[in-house]
Every structure is written in structure tokens, then in C-alpha cells.
Structure 1
Amino acid sequence: MSEKHAIVVEKVLPYPPEKIWRTLTRSDLIAKWLMPNDFEPVVGYRFTFRTKPLGDWDGIVHCEVLQCDPPVCLRYSWKGGSDSNPDYGSRLISELTWTLTGVDGGTHLKMVHDGFVFPGNRFAYDVMGPGWVKVMDAITRVTADAPRGVSAA
């Protein structure tokens, strides 16, 4: 019997939600904290993330924007991998949700990557959990370095 699991990472960042939203929704900034992409913050827009291919997996994560409520919530599908890869690069059909809540001194950023099915996605879950923690730190760094006065796409 398979079970579904989610990775949840939360952090308070010392920036207003609008500034973090820009980091989460500008393709050039996303490339600095995650992967090269062709993201557009428009519901229904299909985009990809690209990483190193492995085995039968071409290294492409296929996504679609499911919800885009600036600067509060961004949700997109996350599909990639190959059925023939038993470990890293295994087939994963999931969703990623970013929720931003203004708090004293900044923004509470919550990331939920949901839809890991065990046992098949266990390896991906175990690797991506710590990976998303590092990504959250990278988002903090990229947000700090992002130029001021650039529109929030």
C-alpha cells in the first residue's frame, strides 16, 4: 500500500512579502536559488526546470502554475523523473506551494512539496527534504542581493 508524504520547510525572512514574491516569481532570480527555468507567474502557464539528466530521466521538471495570488500564495505542479530510475530521478508527480505571511520584522515563508508516494518516491523525499532547507537559505541570500526598484513581474 502506498502512502503520500509532504516536505514542509518554514522560515522567517527579514524582508517584506513583495520582495520575497519577486524572488519566487522572476525567472532570472529563480535560476539563482533553484534551477534554470522559463517560469511566468500566470495561472495555467506551463514551464520547466532543467537540471542534469540521470539515467532515463532527461533532467526536465515539467510544471504548471496552478495558483498565483501575489504576494501571498504561489502553487505549481512538479512532474519529472523516469519510471526506470529506482532512486534519484524516479518518477515524481507532485505540487509545490509557497505561502507568504507578513510578520513583525519580515515574512514567514512556508514551502510545502506534497505528493511523494512511498515506497517509490522515498529516495527523492529523503534527498529533497534537506535540499529544500538549503533552497530556503538560498532564497534568503538571493532576496538580499536582488536589486531594488525592479517590478514584481
Structure 2
Amino acid sequence: MTNYAKNRLKLFNPLHLLATGFGSGMFYWMPGTAGSLVAIPLWWILISLFHWSCNVLILIFSIILGIYVCHKTACHIGVHDHSCIVLDELVGMWITLIMLPNNNIIWIIIGFILFRYLDICKPGPIIWCHRKIKGGIGIIIDDVIAGIIAAIIIRMIYSLGSFFR
């Protein structure tokens, strides 16, 4: 993290705390992976408390809130889509996780690996959005697309497995 950005980031600020995934984005090494890992227990709590349809509404609200929070935090620290901003990873992971065929550890690991691969490598439309769209929407949208693609791939894997049974 640049000294300028580091000096401007304050975890006592609720926007900064949310944008950094409750501080998980402050890890020096692989902050996006740390944020994605934090998403898993938070998602587990959500699915244990609420019905699937309510979780979809929470996810939509998280995307909208994430656009605002990430934009404001990026403006405060003076760096667009800094690596410490990982709320977008949490949202992208939730999109992947909400579409799992079963809530078991194997599917969670597959979802995590697929999402991280897509988020790191940024194939096709993910890299285009990452480079072209700025502001809070730009910070969030590439991870939303990575989450959607990971969810589609998981559903395809699950369907193929069902086909061969």
C-alpha cells in the first residue's frame, strides 16, 4: 500500500471498515484472497438465518451499498480500486456461493477456487470492465461478473455430474 493511501485509510471509519472487508484487505499478501475467505463465514451466517429469496435481496443491497462504499473509500484514500478495498471480493464470492448446488465443503472450495481464478486472471468481459468502468461501479462490477461466471460454471459442472449418474 502506498504511504499516501495507508495514511488516509482509517478502519474506525465505517465506510473504510466495510470496504476493507472488516480489515481483511489490510493483509499485505493476497488481500483479495483474504477478503474472499472472509465472505465464506459471513455467507454461512446469512444462509442459516434467512431464506434463499431474502439472501438474494441482501446480495442486491450489498452490490448497491458496495458501489457507494467502495467509491467513497477510493476517493478518501486517493487510489481507485486499491488492493485493500475487498468488499467487491466479498460480493463476488456471495454471488458464487448463493448458486452452489449443495452447501458442503467441496462445493464451497470449488466455488472459492473458480471465483479467485476468474478474479485474478480476469478473462474476457471481466478485464474489459476492470479497465474501462471507473468509480464504485467499476470496482464492484468486475467481481460481480466473475461471481456470475463462476456460478454458471459450477451449475454446468453439477449438471454434467447429474447427467452421468
Q: TM-score, normalised by structure 1?
A: 0.29
**Higher-strand-fraction structure:** 1
Larger RCO: 1 or 2 (CA < 8 Å, sep 6+): 1
Q: TM-score, normalised by structure 2?
A: 0.28
